């Protein structure tokens, strides 16, 4: 049974409500984490009320013309098939009686009750007809029942419940349902369980079909995790093997010492090993001049050129002649008079052109798809303003959506946070995580340089105890910046090193501790576990994911896996996830800035820094407006 059905305006006023009060605040969290995050094309939203409340599923529908939102809330364990139908019917009926001046709609109660009865009756009918169709197919079904259970339960793990009650004539669904027991209760449970399976199967089969719409990102990463689990055992084994092999080589006695080959021309090199900084080189730390390369670009104002946007006239030509139902003249008249109601078929060509444009700017494919779907949902049914074309409406909507996604939802004022931590008497800890080779150590040094310019005491912690040269690299940076560094050499547990570093920072009154970690692939289970242990043990103030701007579709995978592993492998219920993103190698991409959008969309974390070069001053803030302009150019 439906817990609640709400109708409210986009401005926030509740127009009509049916049902009792809900535990927690599912509607607010739906708006905040789904509709405002441009995920409005998702099928459903799951909400867990905090402190042991109930688990709800929410479904919604928009009436874009009147600016209304219809939300249905029900318990997650129920799988009501008629909710989508009900929402569509409610939207139809309500838009008839809607009046912008009215604020109470008590007469809608009756209409709604009737709609609900009709929808339930329809759902019952459909279920009965499916049961009747299933009866002759019971015999062959029994053999394949175990196979389909595995498939069914496997697909059940993947994301949203279908709930559309589509009548699929596959034999598979019939076989799936034949698992139900003879008793009526068992049958109902079986139906409910398996109603998910065929809908998920539909999703799997109709991947290319336009009705299913966006490629389900949840499904994508769950599938990848299934495949990933098989491979990372192998990867983890090989990593472990190589480390073990390395240790064995060091422990074993050196039998034959290799002699240096001396060539005729070159002078003999007596010393080839430069890893020891002090002593032979003769350079003490006091002799190195502190690196002063001027003002970090973080503090420089970026001049945004305000060139006028040129209208893209090419999109009108993309319209296939087959899809044009109205003639050119009537569509012209309609665009002038402004009474055309936007249909999905109208939006498709413009959206496809936009999606292609986004993809040429290096936005991940599924992100571009989801965004376009979300914009389509928000524009469907809206009346075109006068003298506007479909393409310009879509463009403005997409621009607003992009601005909304890239605007950070929490303050990215690190200096303020550092001061707050200083007042509390503890150091502010930042952990840099990411895959191999993205530029963690380099950008860590840049951030340290910037902080130093604002009179903040920084300390580095070398928790990359795996890669050769990592500790020396940080040591060099620390020497050039003249800041203390805490290191314990190689082959130590990074979590312990970090813990001791923080204690040391407290002792010598450092304001900020920057923790460098080893790069790791997102599929590598043991390394991700080690990272999770580091984060949980030390509870840093900021977990910064370092990602390079060159990455394409892999950004989505990296961030989802990192977030997922951090959430799964932590002992506490409120796990620490990625708090911010540091985008590196921004100078290597000209205008293919899509990685920023993919990363922000997938993780919800704001981009706090942008690395744009290899010297200390090459650190910038993300200019949202210029990125949006570049993406849509």
Partner 1 sequence: MEQWLQQLQKWIHEVEEWVHQQPVEQLSAAFAVLIITFALFGFFRILRRSKSNTIVLAGLTGSGKTVLYYQLRDGSPHQGTVTSMEPNDDTFVLHSELEKKGKLNPVHSVDVPGHSRLRPKLDEFLPHAAGVIFVVDSLDFLPNCRAAAEYLYDILTKAIVVKRRIPILILCNKADKVTAHSKEFIRKQLEKEIDKLRTSRSAISTADLTSEFTLGVPGETFAFSHCLNKVSVAEASGLTGEISQVEQFIRELVKP
C-alpha dist (Å) from residue 586 to 368, 512, 592: 20, 25, 9
Query: Which part of the chain contacts partner 1 (CB under 8 A), choosing from 238-246, 284-292, 328-336, 398-406?
Result: 398-406
Which one among 138, 150, 332, 420 touches partner 1, defined by CB under 8 A? 420
Cβ closest to partner 1, residue 243 vs residue 415: 415
Figure out which of the listed residues 122, 409, 426, 480 binds partner 1, where binding follows CB under 8 A: 409
422 is a contact residue toward partner 1 (CB under 8 A):
no
CB-side neighbour CA atoms (13 Å) of 560: 19
Closest-CA residue to 604 (of 366, 316, 409, 362): 409
User: Can residue 568 be called a binding residue for partner 1 (CB under 8 A)?
Assistant: no
Helix axes 525-538, 554-568, angle to 10 degrees: 60
Q: Tokens standing for 390?
A: 């479909």
Q: Of 160-168, 241-249, 286-294, 404-412, which part binds partner 1 (CB under 8 A)?
A: 404-412
Among left, alpha and beta (phi > 0; psi -120 to 50; other), residue 163 is left
| 374 CB neighbour count, 10 Å cutoff | 23
14 binds partner 1 (CB under 8 A): yes
Q: Which stretch binds partner 1 (CB under 8 A): 4-12, 347-355, 487-495, 559-567?
A: 4-12
Of the residues 171, 408, 484, 613, which one makes contact with partner 1 according to CB under 8 A: 408
Ranges within 240-299 binding partner 1 (CB under 8 A): 298-299
The reply on whether position 407 binds partner 1 by CB under 8 A is yes
Question: Where do we find the tokens 């059940």?
Answer: 156
Length of the chain: 633
- Helix intervals (H) in 542-581: 554-568
27 is an interface residue for partner 1 by CB under 8 A = yes
By the rule CB under 8 A, 28 interacts with partner 1: yes
Is 73 exposed, middle or buried, given 0-12, 13-18 or 19+ CB atoms closer than 10 A?
buried
Distance CA 483, CA 513 (A): 11
Give the nearer residue to partner 1 in terms of CB position, either 426 or 621. Answer: 621
CA distance 595 to 359: 10
Can you tell me the distance from the alpha carbon of 502 to that of 427, in angstroms, rounded to the nearest whole number?
A: 7
Residue 416 contacts partner 1 per CB under 8 A: yes
List Cα–Cα distances, 489 to 10, 170, 456, 502, in angstroms.
57, 62, 26, 17
| Binding region for partner 1 (CB under 8 A) out of 186-194, 347-355, 397-405, 431-439 | 397-405
**Cβ 155 vs Cβ 200: under 8 Å:** yes
Rounded to the nearest angstrom, the gap between the alpha carbon of residue 295 and the centroid of all alpha carbons in its chain is 33
Q: Is 67 in the site for partner 1 (CB under 8 A)?
A: yes
Strands 55-63 and 45-48: antiparallel
What is the C-alpha separation between 315 and 160, in angstroms, rounded? 34
d(CA 287, CA 591): 42
Residue from 77, 96, 99, 104 in contact with partner 1 (CB under 8 A): 104
Nearer residue to partner 1 within complex by CB, 290 or 403: 403
Per-residue contact flags (x/-) with partner 1 for residues 611 to 630, judged by CB under 8 A:
----------x---------
Indicate which single residue of 46, 419, 492, 533 sits in contact with partner 1 (rule: CB under 8 A).
419
DSSP secondary structure code for residue 462 in this structure: E
As a whole number of angstroms, the distance between CA 381 and CA 182 comes to 46
C-alpha count within 13 angstroms, C-beta hemisphere, residue 16: 25
Question: Which range touches partner 1 (CB under 8 A), out of 73-81, 275-283, 409-417, 515-523?
Answer: 409-417
Task: Choose between 17 and 188: whose C-beta lies nearer to partner 1.
Answer: 17
Question: Is 97 an interacting residue with respect to partner 1 (CB under 8 A)?
Answer: no
How is residue 587 written in tokens? Answer: 């100078």
Query: Could you give the dihedral angle defined by the CA atoms of residues 537, 543, 548 and 553, in that order, rounded to the nearest 10 degrees?
Result: 90
Verify binding: residue 411, partner 1, rule CB under 8 A.
Answer: yes
- Shortest CB 574 distance to partner 1, Å: 16
What residues between 444 and 463 interact with partner 1 by CB under 8 A? 454
Residue 599, helix vs strand vs coil? helix
Q: Does 17 bind partner 1 (CB under 8 A)?
A: yes
The pattern of x and - marking residues 327 through 366 that bind partner 1 according to CB under 8 A reads: ----------------------------------------
Q: Segment near partner 1 (CB under 8 A), from 213-221, 265-273, 414-422, 474-482?
A: 414-422
Nearest-angstrom CA–CA distance, 571 and 494: 18
Q: Find the part of the chain contacting partner 1 (CB under 8 A) among 14-22, 175-183, 309-317, 489-497.
A: 14-22
Q: Quick one: 12 or 282, whose CB is closer to partner 1? A: 12
If binding is defined by CB under 8 A, does position 588 make contact with partner 1?
no
Minimum CB–partner distance for residue 289 and partner 1 (Å): 25
Q: Which of 124, 125, 276, 302 binds partner 1 (CB under 8 A)?
A: 302
Q: Which is nearer to partner 1, 325 or 410 (CB)?
A: 410
> Which parts of this chain interact with partner 1 (CB under 8 A)?
6, 8, 10-17, 27-28, 31-32, 35-37, 67, 69, 103-104, 298-302, 403-405, 407-411, 413, 415-416, 419-420, 454, 621
């Amino acid at each position: 049974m439906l817990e609640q059905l709400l109708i409210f305006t986009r401005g926030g006023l509740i127009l009509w409500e049916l049902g009792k009060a809900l535990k927690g605040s599912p509607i607010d969290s739906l708006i905040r984490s789904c509709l405002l995050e441009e995920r409005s094309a998702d099928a459903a939203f799951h909400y867990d009320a905090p402190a042991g409340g109930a688990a709800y599923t929410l479904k919604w529908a928009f009436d874009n013309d009147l600016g209304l939102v219809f939300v249905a809330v029900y318990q997650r364990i129920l799988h009501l098939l008629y909710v989508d139908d009900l929402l569509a019917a409610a939207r139809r009926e309500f838009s008839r009686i809607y009046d912008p001046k009215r604020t109470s709609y008590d007469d809608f109660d009756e209409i709604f009750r009737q709609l609900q009865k009709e929808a339930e009756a329809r759902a019952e009918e459909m279920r009965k007809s499916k049961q009747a169709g299933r009866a002759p197919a019971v015999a062959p079904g029994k053999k394949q029942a175990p196979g389909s259970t595995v498939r069914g339960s496997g697909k059940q793990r993947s994301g949203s419940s279908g709930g559309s009650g589509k009548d699929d004539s596959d034999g598979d669904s019939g076989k799936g349902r034949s698992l139900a027991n003879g008793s009526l209760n068992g049958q109902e449970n079986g139906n409910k369980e398996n109603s998910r399976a065929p809908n998920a199967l539909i999703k799997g089969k109709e991947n290319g079909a336009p009705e299913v719409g966006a490629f389900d990102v949840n499904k994508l990463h769950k599938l990848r995790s299934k495949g990933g689990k098989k491979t990372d055992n192998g990867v983890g084994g090989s990593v472990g093997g190589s480390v073990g092999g390395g240790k064995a080589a060091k422990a074993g006695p050196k039998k034959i010492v290799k002699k240096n080959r001396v060539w005729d021309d070159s002078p003999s090199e007596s010393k080839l090993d430069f890893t020891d900084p002090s002593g032979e080189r003769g350079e003490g730390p006091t002799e190195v001049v502190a690196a002063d390369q001027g003002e970090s670009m973080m503090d420089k104002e970026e001049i945004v050129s305000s060139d006028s946007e040129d209208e893209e006239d090419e999109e009108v030509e993309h319209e296939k002649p087959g899809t044009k139902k109205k003639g050119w003249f009537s569509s012209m008249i309609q665009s002038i008079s402004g009474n055309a109601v936007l249909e999905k078929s109208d939006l498709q060509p413009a959206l496809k052109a936009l999606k292609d444009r986004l993809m040429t700017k290096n936005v991940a494919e599924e992100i571009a798809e989801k965004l376009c779907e979300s914009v389509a949902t928000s524009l469907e049914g809206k009346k075109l303003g006068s003298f506007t074309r479909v393409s310009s409406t879509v463009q403005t909507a997409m621009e607003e959506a992009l601005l909304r996604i890239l605007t950070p939802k929490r303050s990215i004022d690190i200096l303020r946070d550092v001061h707050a931590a200083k007042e509390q008497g503890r150091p502010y800890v930042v952990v840099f995580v990411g895959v191999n080779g993205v530029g963690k150590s380099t950008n860590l040094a840049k951030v340290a340089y910037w902080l130093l310019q604002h009179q903040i005491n920084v300390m580095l912690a070398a928790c990359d105890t795996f890669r050769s040269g990592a500790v020396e690299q940080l040591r060099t940076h620390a020497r050039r910046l003249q800041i203390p560094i805490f290191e314990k050499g190689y082959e130590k547990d990074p979590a312990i090193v970090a813990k001791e570093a923080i204690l040391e920072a407290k002792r010598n009154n450092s304001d900020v501790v920057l923790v460098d970690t080893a790069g790791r692939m997102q599929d590598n289970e043991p390394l991700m576990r080690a990272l999770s242990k580091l984060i949980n043990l030390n509870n840093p103030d900021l977990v910064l994911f370092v990602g390079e701007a060159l990455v394409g579709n892999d950004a989505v995978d990296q961030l989802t896996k990192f977030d997922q592993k951090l959430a799964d492998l932590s002992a506490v219920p409120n796990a620490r996830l990625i708090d911010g993103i540091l985008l590196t190698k921004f100078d290597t991409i000209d205008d293919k800035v899509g990685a920023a959008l993919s990363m922000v969309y997938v993780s919800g974390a704001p981009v706090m820094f942008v690395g744009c070069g290899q010297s200390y001053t090459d650190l910038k803030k993300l200019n949202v407006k210029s990125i949006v302009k570049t993406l849509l150019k």
